[in-house]
């Protein structure tokens, strides 16, 4: 059931995420991807466009390599590398349901 919700949510975000990513190329961000198998991957980067391209090419995280394609479902700007790493850890401690709520809330704010 969560996968169906996530798939629908992804369709709604496709148009807006491209605009969100542009202009954030050199900022510290925490991001969440929905993998091809419906699982969620959380990471941080200081170049989101390059990192997303690496994930899609199978050269990103080991976890996502075997779960292509991936789709950006969450993006949060952070003030520093340390803050981004801290926030990544916090998100990774959340349950799947809490992560889905986080992505849903961001979609409502945009």
For residue 83, give the H/E element and its range. Answer: helix 81-92
Domain membership flag for residue 5: no
Checking if the pLDDT of 53 tops 90, the result is yes
The domain total for the chain is 1
What tens digit of pLDDT does each residue of 65-110 get? 999 999 999 999 999 999 999 999 999 999 999 999 999 887 565 4
Cβ atoms of residues 87 and 75 within 8 Å: no
Cβ atoms of residues 106 and 69 within 8 Å: no
Domain membership flag for residue 10: no
Cβ atoms of residues 25 and 47 within 8 Å: yes
Domain membership flag for residue 3: no
Domain membership flag for residue 9: no
* pLDDT band with cut points at 50, 70 and 90 for residue 18: very low
Share of the chain above pLDDT 90, in %: 65
pTM of the predicted protein model? 0.76
């Amino acid at each position: 059931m969560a996968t169906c919700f996530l798939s629908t949510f992804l369709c709604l975000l496709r148009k807006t995420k491209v605009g969100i990513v542009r202009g954030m190329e050199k900022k510290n961000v925490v991001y969440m991807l929905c993998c091809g198998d419906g699982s969620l991957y959380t990471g941080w980067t200081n170049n989101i466009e390059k990192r997303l391209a690496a994930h899609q090419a199978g050269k990103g995280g080991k976890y996502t390599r075997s779960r292509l394609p991936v789709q950006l479902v969450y993006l949060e700007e952070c003030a520093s590398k340390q803050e981004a790493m801290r926030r990544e850890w916090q998100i990774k401690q959340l349950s799947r349901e809490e992560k889905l709520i986080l992505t849903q809330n961001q979609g409502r704010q945009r």
